Amino acid sequence: MNIIEWKNNVLYILDQSKLPFKEDYILCFKYQQVIDAIKKMKIRGAPAIGVATAYGIALAAIKYTGSNILDYLNEVMSEFAISRPTAVNLFFAINRMANILNNNRNLSPSDIKILLLEEAKRIENEEREKSDAISSYGAEIVPEKARILTHCNTGSLATIGPGTALGVVKEAWKWGKLEHVYFTETRPLLQGARLTGWELYKEKIPSTLITDNMVGYVMSKGLVNIVIVGADRITLRGDTANKIGTYMIAVLVNYHNIPFYIAAPFSSFDLNIENGSDIPVEERDSEEVLTCMGKKITLDEIKALNPAFDITPAELITGIITDKGVIYPPFKEKILKIKEEISK
Ligand code: MRU
């Protein structure tokens, strides 16, 4: 079964908060359960959040029995919009669903419901194809005997297909180009240790877990020759929001002269924003930092900061692996060219 699946008007979501120790599915009968799963990061990763949002809106439509489906769904969409603010894929999915709704407002509620579900399925299939394309474009630029470092989880658990950055890792392994992968544990919620570790183990890819503060050490020892990470939002000039800690890795990479790539589908680009400083960075509950796997790790009196993402300026990025090919700086003109091609 996939990480997200639609069956008989129920949305099944693999509960990633329990991985790698339990593989449990949440059964969502109501859209509020989908919002809860996104907020609590039972489903996470930018493309997967987008797909869950699309299905959540379709679920809300299908379960609605009232007389004003348009107003109701607009309200539902604004609830999704505030569930997790950084990954732009969520807004990409909302816009796609809103367009279907607005372009078919004169149809009967039952026809609207069918069209919304079809659109959610289309978004899911497109994300799978994008993930496949990123994996092969990325494998091309990976050097022979690659020793890749990656951060957070960007694999099948975060996307619908093989992944973005981790999709490239998997493909490079298939092509015989990969020697080893170093993956960070990714505090506070351990997406690296729990989720990337789980995926690499399943694929039997040679890999080593490091704590987040070992990145400088492994680079100084020459253990890494390329870094590939994912993205939650990429601006027009190429500034990139990704899991907290990415910026720190990008600075280190530049000091050590190691290529630093972002891998992301075009649905993770926000063409309405030029500068990274305008990306809203989600601030999560400080309890996530004050605890580890549900256990308190410090005194009750201690306070903690918990931004879920940071912004890496375009100047620190070697290239961006997209589903339309790999782009290099200056990014803006290439991003606009892809947009133009897509809208043809
Ligand atoms: O907070 P998360 O786990 O949703 O953050 C995930 C990341 O930062 C990923 O790198 C990003 O969403 C890309 S996933 C293909």
pLDDT tens-digit profile, the chain (344 residues): 899 999 999 999 999 999 999 999 999 999 999 999 999 999 999 999 999 999 999 999 999 999 999 999 999 999 999 999 999 999 999 999 999 999 999 999 999 999 999 999 999 999 999 999 999 999 999 999 999 999 999 999 999 999 999 999 999 999 999 999 999 999 999 999 999 999 999 999 999 999 999 999 999 999 999 999 999 999 999 999 999 999 999 999 999 999 999 999 999 999 999 999 999 999 999 999 999 999 999 999 999 999 999 999 999 999 999 999 999 999 999 999 999 999 88
CA-based nearest residue to 251, from 312, 204, 308, 200: 312
How many A from CA of 314 to the centre of ligand 1? Answer: 18
Pocket perturbation via mutation, ligand 1, pick of 232, 266, 269 by most ligand atoms within 8 A of CB:
232
CA of 309 to the centre of ligand 1 (A): 9
How far are the Cα atoms of 47, 246, 272 from residue 119, in angstroms, in the given order?
A: 15, 33, 23
Atom of ligand 1 lying closest to residue 163 CA: 15
CB 219 within 8 A of CB 253: yes
Q: In angstroms, what is the span from residue 83 Cα to ligand 1's centroid?
A: 15
Q: Give 290 Cα–ligand 1 centroid separation in angstroms.
A: 21
pLDDT of residue 1: 81
Catalytic residues: 232
In this prediction the pTM is 0.97
The atom of ligand 1 lying closest to the CA of 166 is 15
Site to probe by mutation for ligand 1, drawn from 83, 89, 242 as the one with most ligand atoms within 8 Å of Cβ, is 242
Q: Which residues line ligand 1 (CB under 6 A)?
A: 44-47, 87, 152, 154, 158-159, 164, 191, 230-232, 242-243, 308
Measure 295 CA to ligand 1 centroid, in angstroms. Answer: 23
Q: For a pocket test of ligand 1, which of 38, 49, 243, 323 has the largest count of ligand atoms closer than 8 A to its C-beta?
A: 243
Q: What is the pLDDT of residue 344?
A: 87
Ligand 1 atom closest to Cα of residue 242:
8
Give 337's contacts (C-beta < 8 A, 6+ positions apart): none
The whole-angstrom separation of Cα 163 and Cα 34 is: 21
Q: Which domains does the chain have, with CATH numbers?
A: 4-130 (1.20.120.420), 137-343 (3.40.50.10470)
